[in-house]
Structure 1
Amino acid sequence: MGLRELKATRTRQQIVDTALSLFIDQGYDATTMEQIAERAEVGSTTLYRYFPSKDLLILDRLTQPMNLGAFLRERPAEEPLSVALGAAIHASFDVLDDEDGRLTAVRHIVDNAPIPRARLWDLAAQAQSELKKAIAERMGRPVEDLLVVMTAHVTFAVFHIAGETAGAGDHKASRSESVDELLRTLNTFEWVVPAPPSGPDTVRPRP
């Protein structure tokens, strides 16, 4: 990483850390972009160059683990897709650092603030779309292929369940161990897939 990139990374980190502290201390609505710029000791132009809106700023740390498509593309091409997807989920939690509980506090703020909560859903949908593209590339199938779509949906569902599982309990087990245990359990299931109705007694809805 060059000196310019290193400086940009540090500035971005400083802005995010400052913003999260303000959001936690005084709430989302009460915190302004001007306050963040002043406390982070950067100009408003610099702040808006990194984060065009306040909702993107509060969601920055929460959305980093969602980049499953990028994590999948980093896996070796010869690796089985199921293994690569499990590794991508692991990688997503490797970038999640909540040792001080700040992200949990921020997530509580987002859950109670309509604008960032809605944006979070939009960003999650974008992340899932990127995951579908990465899976399609690995499978050699179109993005709209049903197997690609279902694989992406299932992977994202596992990602969310892994997050809930890793955040539950007494935290004696590491996050990595929690994810591994979940993946092992899921791979023992005999999956139930919805089947079409059949038989003479089937009641079909009227058009």
Structure 2
Amino acid sequence: MSGEMGLRERKKRRTYETISDTAIALFLEKGFDRVPVAAIAEAAEVSKPTLFRYFPAKEDLVLHRFADHREEAARVVAGRPEGVGPLEALHRRFTDGLARRDPVTGLCDDPDVLAFHRLLYGTPSLVARLYAYQGASEAALAEALAGSAPGAGAPGAAGPAGVRERLAAGQIVAVQRILAEENWRRIAAGEPAGAVEPDAVAAAALAFRQLAEGLEL
């Protein structure tokens, strides 16, 4: 029975990826607003009801690539080594992402990634949806920060977030967004990732230092 469930989940995942990849290819070719959902369903060889079961909104066809990152900051805080503060753990993670050319950091000059970012940041409805994803990231991070506070209980356990944690999470997510946008802006202007990296690392250090001095986390 477990093997059957595993096969079913793999088939669902393949369908999910096929629909999204088909949609993004069409969006890159024709523009987000010029591609109707019916055309995506036809190209992906699924029905419209099936497409909407996987992706409730047209924007989700693009933004699903960020879905795995929505709770990444919260996972980093909850899973950080003993003796490492939340901001230090997040700073390390961001710096590691720069070294890996993680597209989420904006420091990636792969042509496919650049095309995707142009689609994303050049489409107002996608930018608005991205902010909604970031709101979910803030909420998860705030709970993780609440769970990491002294006297919060088991290490790494999420807790009810108060104003302090929500403010901190909002500022952290905003800093990461601004750093990524600045990196992407320079890459999009034609600078190679290797040339931008030293400034990106320095900017991240400055940003997290300012957070630490102001937030006292």
Give the alignment's TM-score, normalised by structure 2. 0.69
Greater mean alpha carbon deviation, residues 181-190 or residues 122-131: 181-190
How many angstroms does 1:51 deviate by? 0.1
Label 1:137 to 1:16 Cα distance change in 2 as closer, same or farther (>3 A): same
In the other structure, the counterpart of 2:156 is none
CA–CA distance in structure 1, aligned partners of residues 209 and 203 of structure 2:
10
- C-alpha contact (below 8 Å) 2:183/2:200 kept by paired residues: yes
- C-alpha contact (below 8 Å) 1:132/1:149 kept by paired residues: yes
Once the two structures are superposed, residues 82-138 of structure 1 have per-residue CA deviations (whole angstroms, 9 ceiling, x without a partner) of: 222224545697364772122122124423xxx444333333222212221121112
CA–CA distance in structure 2, aligned partners of residues 67 and 107 of structure 1:
20
Label 1:13 to 1:179 Cα distance change in 2 as closer, same or farther (>3 A): farther
Query: As a proportion of its length, which structure holds more helix?
Result: 2
Once the two structures are superposed, residues 19-46 of structure 1 have per-residue CA deviations (whole angstroms, 9 ceiling, x without a partner) of: 1111122222221111111111223232
After superposition, residues 1-207 of structure 1 pair within 5 angstroms as: 2-62=6-66, 64-72=68-76, 75-76=79-80, 78=82, 79-89=84-94, 90=96, 94=102, 96=104, 99=110, 100=112, 101-111=114-124, 115-139=125-149, 140=152, 142-146=160-164, 148-167=165-184, 168=186, 170-173=191-194, 180-186=201-207
Aligned residues: 189
Give the alignment's TM-score, normalised by structure 1. 0.72
Label 1:183 to 1:117 Cα distance change in 2 as closer, same or farther (>3 A): closer
CA–CA distance in structure 2, aligned partners of residues 64 and 189 of structure 1:
27
Once the two structures are superposed, residues 143-169 of structure 1 have per-residue CA deviations (whole angstroms, 9 ceiling, x without a partner) of: 1142x1332122112211220233225
Q: Specify every segment of 5 or more residues in structure 1 that has no aligned partner in the other structure, as ranges.
A: 194-207
CA–CA distance in structure 1, aligned partners of residues 213 and 144 of structure 2:
26
Identity of aligned residues (%): 26
SS of the residue aligned with 1:186? helix
SS of the residue aligned with 1:54? coil
Label 1:184 to 1:120 Cα distance change in 2 as closer, same or farther (>3 A): closer
Q: Specify every segment of 5 or more residues in structure 2 that has no aligned partner in the other structure, as ranges.
A: 153-158
CA–CA distance in structure 2, aligned partners of residues 63 and 176 of structure 1:
25
SS of the residue aligned with 2:33? coil
Label 1:5 to 1:29 Cα distance change in 2 as closer, same or farther (>3 A): same
Label 1:14 to 1:125 Cα distance change in 2 as closer, same or farther (>3 A): same
Larger Rg: 1
- C-alpha contact (below 8 Å) 1:128/1:156 kept by paired residues: yes
CA–CA distance in structure 1, aligned partners of residues 9 and 118 of structure 2:
30
Label 1:4 to 1:95 Cα distance change in 2 as closer, same or farther (>3 A): farther
- C-alpha contact (below 8 Å) 2:183/2:196 kept by paired residues: yes
How many angstroms does 1:77 deviate by? 5.5
